[in-house]
Structure 1
Amino acid sequence: MDTVTVARFEASRNRLASLAYRLLGSAADAEDTVQDAFLRWQAADREYVEVPEAWLTKIVTNLALDRLRSAKVRRERAAGTWLPEPLLDGDPMLGPADTAEQRESVTLAVLTLMERLSPVERAVYVLREAFVYSHAEIAGILGITESASQQHTHRARRRIAGAGHGTGLDHASARGIVEAFVDAAASGRTERLVVLLTDDATGSSDGAGLGLAGKPVHYPTPARIAAALRAGFKPSPAKRRLAGGSPSIHAAVVNGCPAVLATVGDRVAGVVVLELRAGKIAGVRSIATPDRLGRLTEQWHRQERAVPLIEAW
């Protein structure tokens, strides 16, 4: 393949990876999907490809839909062991963030709620909200009618409405929120945490940080969240062994939301993402499964880091 043809694909790689990530919720699966699209690009008769960007968008979208429809993926997600993969602010895979809709479409809250959509609804929602394709363009990409595209968009918006609030924070604002959260969690007083939470706040964990990898834990009330956080933020030799050392605690922005990162050496050992609504925390999501933190760790290595909130926990 000549260098011009490769360069044309590479110019679209980040946008395609962002599209695949939003559709799949997994950076690793998104990278594999984009690589599969590159192989299709290599094999294509490019003389008949009038608009490469449109052709590649269609290929990536449909490859991602094939993954979503696969029996293995359906089993994993139906079993409740699946959680979106968190990405650090500045990661090119997060893609466009110029509008509120684009920022919200990549939050863990929205990526999780998109599990309730059919694969086609998910694709229509992402193409429309995050990449601003017209219904006519979406119809061409997915092989549906414009009317069907409009109906899918309406249903998806109704199911996801309001889930991504609290995005678009600068790092200083995010650090202030995380500092208050860490201080309250480390105090051992649940009432300090409850004050920071909305009345309908919910929490979830992948269980890995609790020694329960593959067994997600859900906390349905502010009191349950506060009790879990109080226990989780209390240091112990057993927790340090589980983490592989004594972690440093950092403030960060992950998927557009303020987040707490626990790092051991150069490795991110866990992340707690805080979803905001009206200045309070409406959702707390904790992820510590190593294969869900690989790309986040890579991006962490590349960033200039502020002073940790806690040097050694």
Structure 2
Amino acid sequence: MTSDDVESLAARFEEHRGHLRAVGYRMLGSVSEAEDAVQEAWLRLDRTGAEGIGNLGGWLTTVTARICLSMLRARGQRREEPLEIHVPDPLLTAPAATGPEEQAVLADAVGLALLVVLDTLGPAERVAFVLHDMFGVPFDDIAPVVGRSPSAARQLASRARRRVQESGTEPDRDAARQRAAVDAFLAAARGGDFEALMAVLDPDVVLRADAGTRGLGSSRVVRGSGEVARQAMLFRTLAETVTARRVLVGGTEGLLGVAGGTPVSVMSFTIRDGRITTITILADPDRLAALPVPPLEP
């Protein structure tokens, strides 16, 4: 290819980069690994060229999915022991404005708790579910990616969908209800109001915290409204040094904890029927330091 051909091909690829990054992130739960997958997709396109490719976006999506599937399988082979508590990378954006923009964000929302569940799926299940349920790819196109028949690919996605539905981690699409629950949680935690915390927490709420090796607090999983409320009461002691700012985490309501201008925690909430069903916290300073933080309300 001539240099003009390469530039033209690169420009066409850039039109799809955002979509491919979204596909990779949902499959891998890692911003850096998603970027690696997208870059590899570009290298493959650069080697082969676009001649004969009728649907470049579909081709790139399929290639990216194949790369992610290989990365997921390699990741599983490296794990000789069960994972310690791990929270996927959060994607932070400023709180959405009301109206169509807000609805668009909610339609594409994927909170940290949902990504935690996706991490428990087998590689082929995760790829089939993400491609079909999140991006609308037909099973006839998914089948060759996962090396199964279309009906088998459908079964993979169905099993994954059941796991997701049973986990209760799909976010509520009512933005006002999300905000109200998080505001009530924050006010009760700051005020040390145990009863108010119990009122906003689902009885079976699960709190998952990943503090890394030197983060704020310790990595842990806490279950049940009573235990989670007691953990939340500790927030009152941090309120003097940590400022909580509203942020969207994967499109769902969350809080960014900032101390001295430095992010110290990200909290993501799943709200169902007005109550908090999951709280997912990343407090690993090394990973937080690498997060791009959008401009936020004071």
Which category describes the TM-score, using the shorter chain as reference length?
0.7 to 0.9
Distance 2:174 2:90 in 1: 17
**Aligned-pair CA distance for 1:107:** 2.0
Distance 1:129 1:264 in 2: 38
Q: Structure 2 vs 1, CA of residues 71 and 274 (structure 1 numbering), >3 Å: closer, same or farther?
A: closer
**Residue 287 of structure 2 corresponds to residue 292 of structure 1:** yes
**Residue 2 of structure 2 corresponds to residue 7 of structure 1:** no
Matched residue type, 1:107 = G
1:84 — aligned with what?
A: 88
**Aligned-pair CA distance for 1:18:** 0.2
Question: 5+ residue gaps in structure 2?
Answer: 96-102
**Aligned-pair CA distance for 1:224:** 1.0
Q: Percent identity?
A: 29
**Aligned-pair CA distance for 1:175:** 4.3
1:206 — aligned with what?
A: 210
Distance 2:148 2:289 in 1: 37
2:227 — aligned with what?
A: 224
2:65 — aligned with what?
A: 61
Matched residue type, 1:49 = I
C-alpha contact (below 8 Å) 1:175/1:252 kept by paired residues: no
Distance 2:129 2:233 in 1: 37
Question: 5+ residue gaps in structure 1?
Answer: 92-96, 241-245, 308-313
**Aligned-pair CA distance for 1:249:** 1.6
Query: What aligned pairs does 1:18-97 form with structure 2 within 5 A after superposition?
Result: 18-71=22-75, 74-75=78-79, 78-89=82-93
1:233 — aligned with what?
A: 236
2:99 — aligned with what?
A: none
Distance 1:283 1:231 in 2: 17
Please give the secondary structure, in 1, of the residue aligned with 2:297. Answer: coil
Query: What aligned pairs does 1:113-128 form with structure 2 within 5 A after superposition?
Result: 113-128=117-132
C-alpha contact (below 8 Å) 2:85/2:209 kept by paired residues: no
**Aligned-pair CA distance for 1:82:** 2.3
C-alpha contact (below 8 Å) 1:177/1:258 kept by paired residues: no
Query: What aligned pairs does 1:122-141 form with structure 2 within 5 A after superposition?
Result: 122-141=126-145
Please give the secondary structure, in 1, of the residue aligned with 2:221. Answer: strand
**Aligned-pair CA distance for 1:269:** 1.9
1:197-249 per-position Cα deviation (integer Å, ceiling 9, x unaligned) = 11111111113598478x6301011111111111243139xxx8xxxxx3322
1:259 — aligned with what?
A: 254
C-alpha contact (below 8 Å) 1:207/1:288 kept by paired residues: yes
C-alpha contact (below 8 Å) 2:113/2:279 kept by paired residues: no
Q: Structure 2 vs 1, CA of residues 74 and 190 (structure 1 numbering), >3 Å: closer, same or farther?
A: farther
Q: Structure 2 vs 1, CA of residues 174 and 89 (structure 1 numbering), >3 Å: closer, same or farther?
A: farther
Choose 81-90 or 13-22, whichever is displaced more. 81-90
Please give the secondary structure, in 1, of the residue aligned with 2:267. Answer: strand
Q: Structure 2 vs 1, CA of residues 81 and 200 (structure 1 numbering), >3 Å: closer, same or farther?
A: closer
Q: Structure 2 vs 1, CA of residues 50 and 149 (structure 1 numbering), >3 Å: closer, same or farther?
A: same
1:189 — aligned with what?
A: 193
**Aligned-pair CA distance for 1:114:** 1.4
Choose 216-225 or 251-260, whichever is displaced more. 251-260
Distance 1:257 1:209 in 2: 27
Distance 1:131 1:63 in 2: 17
Q: Structure 2 vs 1, CA of residues 247 and 113 (structure 1 numbering), >3 Å: closer, same or farther?
A: same
**Aligned-pair CA distance for 1:9:** 0.6
C-alpha contact (below 8 Å) 2:205/2:277 kept by paired residues: yes
Please give the secondary structure, in 1, of the residue aligned with 2:90. Answer: coil
- Among 184, 188, 196, the alignment partner of 1:180 is 184
C-alpha contact (below 8 Å) 2:214/2:285 kept by paired residues: no
C-alpha contact (below 8 Å) 1:179/1:251 kept by paired residues: no
C-alpha contact (below 8 Å) 1:274/1:281 kept by paired residues: yes
Choose 147-156 or 70-79, whichever is displaced more. 70-79
Distance 1:56 1:90 in 2: 29
Matched residue type, 2:237 = K
Matched residue type, 2:154 = Q
Moved over 4 A (4+): 71-74, 97-100, 172-175, 208-213
**Aligned-pair CA distance for 1:111:** 1.2
C-alpha contact (below 8 Å) 1:252/1:258 kept by paired residues: yes
1:268 — aligned with what?
A: 263
1:311 — aligned with what?
A: none
- Among 230, 244, 251, the alignment partner of 1:249 is 244
Compute the RMSD of aligned alpha carbons.
2.9
**Aligned-pair CA distance for 1:10:** 0.4
